[in-house]
Chains A and B, each alone.
Chain A
Amino acid sequence: MDGIFLQQMINGLTLGAVYGLIAIGYTMVYGIIGMINFAHGEVYMISAYLAAISLAVLAYFGLESFPLLILGTLLFTICITGVYGWVIERVAYKPLRNSTRLAPLISAIGMSLVLQNYVQISQGARQQGVPTLLEGAFKLNIGEGFVQLTYTKVFILIAAFVGMALLTYVIQYTKLGRMCRATQQDRKMASILGINTDRVISYVFVIGAAMAALAGVLITMNYGTFDFYAGFIIGIKAFTAAVLGGIGSLPGAMLGGLILGVAEAQFSGMVNTDYKDVFSFSLLVLILIFRPQGLLGRPHVAKV
């Protein structure tokens, strides 16, 4: 294995881990109410702003140690972004729970425009940036070439996988997770059995937003720059990852993200950067032709 291939693998995995984190929000909401939350990309964008605000405030109070800084930022960003997720559900979805399927779709697109413009007006249209938090990198010599891996990327990989593991634990082994799964399987039956399904749906939006917030902090650390339009491209990519892995499936979202990230990186490296998106979407089409439910999705069974 040569250094270039390995470096592209690392590039792809860090990008893919972040796609996966955002894809979780799409897939969870779809799993539970059968809707695509088009405002989810904007939730990520808002979390990037919150992360920058929190970093600035903490630095102002003289906090300099990296672990404390990042812990404080994560806590702050996840909490506030969770509130955004909850409010989005309240405003754009709940009032339309029993209307036609298209209505909440349109209201989510509206929500996304509102959030974008709200950030543009309140924070300005300029590019924002944060200074580099973790400098330095590991350097591995492999044969002729070398692989360079910044500490930030290592942190991103670890944080993303810890986040995903934590979420898997919550969904599989806690009471909240059981409630979520029950609501996903049959909302009516779950509510007959005494589960407050409206509240579960709210929780799902909050969890999705929290994962997007984690991604927001990590991406802000890694690239250091964002603007009010940052949620658009990455939102579309994450949505693609969710569909690729099988929308509605949690491990599917993570796997879809990683596959998409690695596919993009390796294709740019070996063939051409201009057409990397063409390649990713062709891959999506191919997978959907042979597995319409996505890689790990369950086939849709028509209920009579």
Chain B
Amino acid sequence: MSQMIFSKGFLALAVTAAMGLSSLAQADLVIGVAGPHTGANASFGEQYWRGASQAAEDINAAGGVNGEMIKLVKADDACEPKQAVAVANRLVDQDGAKGVVGHFCSSSTIPASEVYDEAGIIAITPGSTNPQVTERGQPGMFRMCGRDDQQGIVAGDYIVDTLKAAKVAIIHDKDTYGQGLADATKAELHKRGVTEVLYEGLTRGEKDFNALVTKIRAAGAEVVYFGGLHAEAGPLVRQMREQGLTATFLSGDGIVTDELVTTAGGPQYTKGVLMTFGADPRLIPDGKPVIDKFRANGFEPEGYTLYSYASLQTLAAAFAGAGANDPAKASAWLKANPVQTVLGKKEWDAKGDLKVSDYVVYAWDDKGKYHQQ
């Protein structure tokens, strides 16, 4: 027993020492950039990191935030909930982060945000669209993107109004984001009087969806709606085309990366693929100088890059607006004031969602690029 008390005491000592060390090193404002920096979705992690790094560089060049320089810390969750909680704890305890840009997969953002909430820091996700992210009453959780219940409405209406399809197959990847999005689209379709001919889940990490494709074909679907990420969307669309299924393929913001073409095996398969995503940030005039900076460095700011840039801008603006690097004050400020970002002027409601979301439909061309419709 005494030994246990001793070891606990030692642990407490070690923790205090570690905290002392981190507070010593804190002449900077530490911000975590959390997302899948490795694993199947690493391309999104790269978009996050590129966006946030450029933003940090620009903000620091302009004098930092409240006299402190922003220091970014990379936190890799590999889109795994367990790892997300571990890196969230590391950001909070070890790195002493006051704000977080992240995470990417909703299934990672939700558990990690519990850690941030407990520590009282502010987090803003550039890409997690599941409604639950901001539905749990956490004061410090914000979004830079829309919600799946908004995205699903746009997708559902597009299927009914533009594609005029009556037979729709809905496929999802059984993950928080993918299934949530598929369900949101399904709900909108039901509201518009369309009942899906097929609703099934595939397994993330697998590559052979031939059996599912045959089933979609047998159901006579004209449109296949997929809720999930590009690692599965690529092989799925390829196997559809290989089996002679010409149905339109529509997905969400989980496939917004050029890597979709790699996973599908060439632009001949992704040609005509449709997806919903926020209005192309590269077309917003506010972002022009920033976009030119990215391109000068040889990186095309696709997908979430500018969202990540805007997220860090927002954090910096919130801390500056609060007048101190205090996460609680910054959260309160952000709910009351608009921020001018690279994506234009943004405002947040009491939940931490954007007041206006702007989902539109994009199409992939025969050269492996996507364009706003």
Is B33 interfacial (CB-CB < 8 Å)? no
Is B16 interfacial (CB-CB < 8 Å)? no
Is B40 interfacial (CB-CB < 8 Å)? yes
Given contacts A15-B208, A277-B203, contact A137 B244 (CB under 8 A): yes
Given contacts A11-B211, A269-B214, A273-B215, contact A232 B205 (CB under 8 A): yes
Residues of A within 8 A of B38 (CB): 120, 125
Nearest CB in chain B to that of A274: its residue:
B201
Given contacts A8-B211, A268-B215, contact A225 B39 (CB under 8 A): no
Is A223 interfacial (CB-CB < 8 Å)? yes
- Cβ proximity bits A64-84 to B, threshold 8 Å, 1 near / 0 not: 000000000000000000000
CB distance from A17 to the nearest CB of B (A): 12
Partner pick for B205 among A135, A150, A233, CB 8 A cutoff: A233
Residues of A within 8 A of B231 (CB): 127, 225, 227
Residues of B within 8 A of A264 (CB): 211
CB distance from A111 to the nearest CB of B (A): 20
- Cβ proximity bits A227-238 to B, threshold 8 Å, 1 near / 0 not: 101101100000
* Contact between B211 and A127, CB atoms less than 8 A apart: no
* Contact between A269 and B211, CB atoms less than 8 A apart: yes
* Contact between A131 and B266, CB atoms less than 8 A apart: yes
Number of interface residues of B (CB under 8 A): 37
* Contact between A132 and B243, CB atoms less than 8 A apart: no
Please measure, in the bound complex, the distance between the C-alpha atom of A145 and the C-alpha atom of B215, giving whole angstroms.
12
CB distance from B250 to the nearest CB of A (A): 19
* Contact between B43 and A127, CB atoms less than 8 A apart: yes
* Contact between A127 and B265, CB atoms less than 8 A apart: no
Given contacts A15-B210, A225-B265, contact A273 B200 (CB under 8 A): yes
Is B206 interfacial (CB-CB < 8 Å)? yes
Nearest CB in chain A to that of B239: its residue:
A223
Chain B CB within 10 A, most for which of A129, A135, A152, A266: A129
CB distance from A15 to the nearest CB of B (A): 5
Is B58 interfacial (CB-CB < 8 Å)? no
* Contact between A148 and B40, CB atoms less than 8 A apart: no
Residues of A within 8 A of B265 (CB): 129-132, 223-225
Given contacts A131-B265, A223-B235, A273-B202, contact A4 B174 (CB under 8 A): no
Number of interface residues of A (CB under 8 A): 45
Please measure, in the bound complex, the distance between the C-alpha atom of A63 and the C-alpha atom of B194, giving whole angstroms.
51
* Contact between A7 and B235, CB atoms less than 8 A apart: no
Chain B CB within 10 A, most for which of A132, A148, A223, A272: A223
Given contacts A127-B43, A277-B203, contact A7 B243 (CB under 8 A): yes
* Contact between A148 and B259, CB atoms less than 8 A apart: no
Nearest CB in chain B to that of A270: its residue:
B215
Residues of B within 8 A of A11 (CB): 208, 210-211, 214
Is A216 interfacial (CB-CB < 8 Å)? no
Is A300 interfacial (CB-CB < 8 Å)? no
Is B262 interfacial (CB-CB < 8 Å)? yes
**29 pairs, A vs B, C-beta closer than 8 Å:** A4-B214, A7-B243, A12-B211, A125-B37, A125-B39, A125-B42, A127-B40, A127-B42, A127-B43, A128-B262, A129-B262, A129-B263, A135-B268, A137-B244, A139-B244, A148-B242, A223-B208, A223-B235, A225-B263, A226-B207, A227-B40, A232-B205, A233-B205, A264-B211, A266-B211, A268-B200, A269-B215, A273-B211, A274-B174
Please report A residues at the B interface, Cβ cutoff 8 Å.
4, 7-8, 11-12, 14-15, 120, 124-132, 135, 137, 139, 145-146, 148, 150, 152, 219, 223-227, 229-230, 232-233, 264-266, 268-269, 272-274, 276-277
Please report B residues at the A interface, Cβ cutoff 8 Å.
37-40, 42-43, 174, 200-203, 205-208, 210-212, 214-215, 217-218, 230-231, 234-235, 238, 242-244, 259, 262-266, 268
Kindly list 6 other residue pairs between chains A and B, CB separation below 8 angstroms, not including A137-B244, A224-B264, A225-B265.
A7-B214, A223-B235, A229-B39, A265-B210, A268-B212, A273-B211
Which 9 A-B pairs give the minimum distances between C-beta atoms?
A: A224-B265, A129-B262, A11-B210, A125-B38, A268-B211, A265-B211, A125-B42, A148-B244, A225-B263
